[in-house]
């Protein structure tokens, strides 16, 4: 992940790093539409293979309006990670306010079928002083 992540947490050997940026060219502040692109890196720092099954996001805007998103996998994938492997993806989050936060969890399974949840530490969705163009 280029630059330093906005959040970094480890649960049961799975590290989740998140970084977000404001997509100025795809936002319309005058209409209350702000788009943020976030990048996630999942790394298996444990000793056995794991597979991501589901995601759960909690998104709060500046007015404390809460939105929850649940679904299978991430961006159409349910990555299986051997020890030492990583998986990165990008997605986006629209907000009606200039800033907000995201946090949540991923559900993983081990090869023996046991399930566990991995925390996604809170990170902020905030426009930077530099406008970033997302391609």
Q: What angle do CA 72, 68, 121 make, to 5 degrees?
A: 85
User: Which of 73, 83, 84 is CA-nearest to residue 40?
Assistant: 73
pLDDT of residue 128: 75
Band of the pLDDT at 2, cuts 50, 70, 90?
low
C-alpha to C-alpha distance for 53 and 71, rounded to whole angstroms: 9
The CATH architecture of the domain made up of 7-125 is Sandwich (2.60)
Q: What is the pTM of this model?
A: 0.89
C-alpha to C-alpha distance for 10 and 16, rounded to whole angstroms: 6
C-alpha to C-alpha distance for 114 and 112, rounded to whole angstroms: 6
pLDDT one-digit tens code per residue, 7-58: 999 999 999 999 999 999 999 999 999 999 999 999 999 999 999 999 999 9
pLDDT of residue 132: 42
C-alpha to C-alpha distance for 81 and 13, rounded to whole angstroms: 11
pLDDT one-digit tens code per residue, 66-87: 999 999 999 999 999 999 999 9
């Amino acid at each position: 992940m280029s630059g330093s992540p906005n959040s970094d947490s480890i649960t049961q050997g799975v590290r989740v790093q998140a970084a977000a940026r404001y997509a100025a060219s795809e936002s319309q502040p005058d209409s209350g539409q702000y788009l943020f692109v976030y990048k996630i890196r999942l790394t298996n720092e444990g000793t056995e293979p794991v597979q991501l099954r589901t995601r759960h996001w909690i998104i709060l805007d500046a007015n404390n309006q809460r939105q929850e998103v649940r679904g299978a996998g991430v961006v159409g994938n349910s990555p299986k990670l051997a020890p030492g492997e990583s998986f990165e993806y990008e997605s986006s989050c629209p907000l009606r306010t200039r800033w907000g936060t995201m946090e949540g969890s991923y559900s993983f399974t081990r090869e023996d079928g046991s399930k566990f949840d991995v925390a996604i530490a809170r990170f902020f969705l905030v426009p930077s002083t530099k406008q970033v163009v997302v391609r």
